């Protein structure tokens, strides 16, 4: 049992151990640690779970090693199209955006949708008008430019392939399967849950493809009765399996614990349909589950004033 608690992820399907080196690892762990601290700062001063997950996701969006915000992958046309969602467990309030290109922090646009409109999901260029009219900070294309992402994109630009993040490490590298998304879930001292997710989607994506991230019930969900969840993985499978709400229903309707429900959905149901990825989840007691069926998942958590724990593969990393 925890009074407040927070978990984050920076994407499932990390770099294969054989492609990971110390300097990269330091960057990932630093990004995770900073995001946990951003969330902790909010929760420790009695802030809400919503404020905490937004703070943590903003920190991850600002870190260029993760595929969200600044580090977003390139689309087929060389732009960046980002999706984000936010949900509160107390009253099922939710906000989301899909296909926005100009905002520094898409999760803040999702929060504005939740707080300032009667709507849940705004898409495309018109969603950008909403964000600019509400004063959300924009960034020029060079803010999103990243040499590594650019090489990923150049390697497959002229094909019809789309690639999950990190799937192309370098043109000459083996085709690892990696998924880029960031997310956070939290319990606050008021007993409320919240979930937030943000992504740059798939490298070389076309046609306004949207994955599970901004879809309430698929990639993001929160309900004080059960849990708060943020997913990462091959989005199409997460949409078809309605992953986040499935975990909630297994708890509510079948009486499974958070751990049982998460494990069943990620390690059994998703595996059977070929859906690679993982999720982070928290229940009203502050229990945390972070299952994945890929080689690893950038992730971390803390409970109350205990130290941060961060992970890339099976075991905790030293920080």
Residues at the site binding a copy of itself, with contacts judged by CB under 8 A? 92-94, 98-99, 117-127, 129-130, 162, 206-211, 215-218, 221, 235-236, 239-242, 245-246, 249-250, 253-254, 273
CB-nearer residue toward a copy of itself: 118 or 142: 118
The nearest distance, CB 243 to a copy of itself, in angstroms, is 9
**Between 4 and 103, CB nearer to a copy of itself:** 103
| Residue 241: other Cβ atoms inside 10 A | 20
Q: Which residues contact 319 (CB under 8 A, 6 or more apart)?
A: 29, 33, 308, 310
Nearer of residues 130 and 301 to a copy of itself, judged by Cβ? 130
Closest distance of CB 252 from a copy of itself, Å: 8
* Residue in this structure with the two tokens 């004080």, named with its chain if needed: 224
Spatial separation of the C-alpha atoms in residues 278 and 178, rounded to whole Å: 11
The three-point CA angle 176-179-181 to 5° equals: 155
**Which residue, 74 or 245, is less far from a copy of itself as judged by CB?**
245
> How deeply is 267 buried, as exposed, middle or buried, from its count of CB atoms within 10 A (0-12, 13-18, 19+)?
middle
- CA 218 distance to own-chain centroid: 12
CB closer to a copy of itself, 210 vs 282: 210
- For 245-278, the DSSP string reads HHHHHHHHHH---HHHHHHHIIIIIHHHTT--EE
The CA-atom distances, in angstroms, between 20 and each of 178, 220, 278 are 13, 29, 20
Instruction: Indicate which residue of 75, 162, 181, 226 is catalytic.
Output: 181
- How far apart are alpha carbons 262 and 278 in whole angstroms? 9
Tell me the closest approach of the beta carbon of residue 128 to a copy of itself, in angstroms. Answer: 9
Query: Is 181 tagged catalytic?
Result: yes
Q: Which is nearer to a copy of itself, 2 or 122 (CB)?
A: 122
Nearest-CA neighbor of 12 among 307, 238, 273? 238
Element (H, E) at 90: none
Distance from C-alpha of 252 to C-alpha of 150, rounded to nearest angstrom? 44
Q: Are 217 and 90 in contact (CB under 8 A)?
A: no
Q: What residues are annotated to the active site?
A: 181
């Amino acid at each position: 049992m925890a009074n407040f608690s927070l978990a984050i992820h920076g994407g499932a399907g990390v770099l294969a151990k054989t492609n990971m080196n110390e300097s990269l690892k330091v960057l990932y762990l630093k990004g995770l640690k900073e995001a946990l601290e951003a969330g902790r700062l909010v929760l420790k001063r009695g802030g809400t779970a919503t404020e905490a997950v937004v703070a943590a996701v903003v920190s991850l969006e600002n870190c260029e090693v993760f595929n969200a915000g600044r580090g977003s992958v390139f689309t087929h046309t060389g732009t960046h199209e980002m999706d984000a969602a936010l949900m509160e467990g107390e009253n099922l309030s939710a906000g989301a955006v899909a296909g926005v290109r100009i905002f520094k922090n898409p999760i803040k646009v999702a929060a504005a949708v939740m707080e300032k409109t009667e709507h849940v999901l705004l898409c495309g260029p018109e969603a950008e008008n909403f964000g600019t009219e509400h004063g959300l900070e924009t960034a020029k294309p060079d803010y999103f430019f990243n040499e590594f992402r650019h090489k990923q994109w150049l390697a497959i630009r002229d094909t019809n392939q789309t690639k999950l993040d990190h799937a192309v490490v370098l043109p000459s590298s083996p085709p690892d399967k990696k998924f880029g998304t960031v997310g956070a879930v939290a319990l606050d001292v008021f007993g409320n849950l919240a979930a937030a997710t943000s992504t740059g989607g798939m490298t070389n994506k076309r046609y306004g493809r949207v994955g599970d991230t901004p879809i309430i019930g698929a990639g993001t969900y929160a309900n004080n009765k059960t849990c708060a969840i943020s997913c990462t993985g091959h989005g199409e499978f997460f949409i078809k399996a309605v992953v986040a709400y499935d975990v909630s229903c297994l708890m509510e309707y079948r009486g499974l614990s958070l751990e049982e429900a998460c494990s069943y959905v990620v390690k059994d149901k998703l595996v059977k349909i070929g859906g690679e990825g993982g999720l982070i989840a928290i229940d009203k007691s502050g229990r945390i589950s972070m299952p994945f069926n890929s080689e690893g998942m950038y992730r971390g958590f803390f409970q109350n004033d205990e130290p941060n724990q961060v992970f890339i593969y099976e075991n905790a990393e030293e920080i």
